[in-house]
Amino acid sequence: MRVAMTKKIGFLSFGHYRDVPGSRVRTAGDSLLQHIDLAVAAEAAGLDGAWLRVHHFDHNLGAPFPLLSAMAARTSTIEVGTGVVDLRYENPLYLAEEAGATDLISAGRLQLGISRGSPEPAADGQAAFGYRLAEGEDWSSVTRARAELFRRAIGGHPVARSQRALDRDAAPDLTVQPLSPGLPNRIWWGAGTHATGVWAGRAGYNLLSSTLLLADDGRPFHLQQADQVRDYRAALAESGHRTGGQAAVTRSAFPITTAEDQSYFGLDRGDTDSAGILDGLPARSGPTFAGSIDEVATGLAADEAVREADYVLFALPSMLGVDYNAHLFENLVALARELGWKE
C-alpha cells in the first residue's frame, strides 16, 4: 500500500516515570536521560521529530528546554519539539530567551508548540508560579496576549527601553537575546477545538491539533479533526500571514512484528473512538491502531485527518524503555514507507 504524499513523522512523549512493577523509567533522572537516548535512536531509525509533552506538578516533563537542548546536542538532524508549553505558567520574554537559545543549540531544529494548555493536577498551579488573573481576565485571552508578546520578542522587535531611551522618553530599543533566525516560522498553537484551530490560522501559527477534541458531533474523531485542519488552512490563507501553514496530528499506532509487540499491544486491536466528558465539555479522541504493518497502514490511510496533516506524531510508550522504543521507531519508519510517506 502506498499513499502518495510525503509526511514527516515523529514521536510525542509524556515522559512518564513511576517506580512501579514493569516500569523501565523509575525516576525523573531516568526519564530525562533516557529521552536523550530516545532522540538518538529515533534519528538513527529515520524519524523526523522528537517531541515532548509538558505538564507541571506531576511525574512528567515539566521543564522542557534543558532536555530539548541536550537532545539536540546529541543529534544532528532530528527536530525537537513541545506539545505544548502551557502559557499560563510562562513569562513570555523568559520563554523567548529559552527558545532562542535552544534553537541555536539545535541549529534551527526547534519546533515549539505553545497554547493555553490542558488540565493540570494542581487546582490553580499557575498561581503557585506567581501568575494570577486580574479581575475580568480569562486564561484564553491572557495566554494569547502572552503568545503575541513572545512572537514579537523572538522576531527581534524591541520590547524594553534602555536607560538612554528612558531618559529621552523614547520607544523601546532593546530586544531579547539570543535571537534565532527562522524560529518565528516554527511556532505551533495547540488546538483542542475547531474554533481555536481557526484562530490559529488567522494568527499565523502552525497547527498542532490536540490528541482529543473538546467537541463531539457524533462523527468519527478523524472526520471532525480533518475539518479542523481544513478550516485552519482556509483561515490562514485569508489572513495573509507569511508564517504558519503546517498541521500536525498525533496517533497511537503500534505495528506488531514480534512476540513482545504482541504482549504489549495485541489486545489494543480496534477501530473505535473514545468519547466522554472533560472539564464539563463533550470530548472525543481517536482509536489505537495495532496490528501488522499492513493493517496499521490500512487504518491510517483511511484516516482523513492524517491525510490532511503534514506531520504525524506517534504517542510514545516511554515507560517501556529505550531498547523497546528503538524497535518501535524502526517499525514506524517501515510503516511510513508502506504508506509512501518516506522512501
Q: Which amino acid is at 124?
A: D
Asked if the structure places residue 130 within a domain, the reply is: yes
Tens digit of pLDDT for each residue in 16-28?
A: 999 998 899 999 9
Does some domain include residue 52? yes
Structural domain contains residue 327? yes
User: Which residues touch 136 (CB under 8 Å, ≥6 apart)?
Assistant: none
Q: Is 343 part of a structural domain of the chain?
A: no
The domain total for the chain is: 1
Could you tell me if residue 291 is inside a domain? yes
Task: Check pLDDT > 80 for residue 108.
Answer: yes
Q: How confident is the model at residue 196 (pLDDT cuts 50, 70, 90)?
A: very high
- What residue numbers bound the domain in which 259 lies? 8-338
pLDDT band, residue 98 (cuts 50/70/90): very high
List, for residues 129-170, the tens digit of each pLDDT value: 999 999 999 999 999 999 999 999 999 999 999 998 877 788
Q: Is the pLDDT of residue 4 over 60?
A: no
> For residues 280 and 1, what is the distance between their CA atoms, to the nearest angstrom?
41
- SS3 for 101? helix
In a domain, 188, yes or no: yes
Kindly give the residue spans of alpha helices, DSSP state H, lying in the chain.
Answer: 28-45, 64-73, 92-105, 125-128, 139-154, 163-167, 194-203, 221-239, 259-265, 293-301, 304-308, 322-338
3-state helix, strand, coil in the chain (%, to 5): 45, 20, 40
Distance CA 270, CA 192 (A): 24
CA separation, residue 339 to residues 17, 297, 302 (Å): 33, 6, 11
Which is it for the CA torsion 322, 328, 329, 330, positive or negative?
A: positive
Q: What's CA 167's distance to the chain center, in Å? A: 43
Asked whether residue 2 is assigned to any structural domain, the reply reads: no
pTM: 0.95
Whether 1 is in a domain gets the answer: no
pLDDT beyond 70 at 1: no
pLDDT at residue 215 in the model: 84
Flag the least confident range among 2-6, 131-135, 253-257: 2-6
Residue 291 belongs to domain with CATH number: 3.20.20.30
Contacts of residue 231, defined as CB under 8 A and 6 or more positions apart, other chains included, come to 194, 197, 198, 201
Q: Helix, strand, or coil here: 24?
A: coil
Average of per-residue pLDDT values in the chain: 95
| pLDDT more than 90, % of the chain | 87
117 class by beta-carbon count within 10 Å (0-12 exposed, 13-18 middle, 19+ buried): buried
| pLDDT at site 271 | 72
Give the angle subtended at the CA of 300 by the CAs of 250 and 323, to the nearest 5°.
60
Lowest mean pLDDT among 4-8, 99-103, 218-222, 262-266: 4-8
pLDDT value of position 60: 94
| CA geometry: angle 285, 290, 296, nearest 5 deg | 95
Q: Tell me the mean pLDDT in the region 163-190.
A: 92
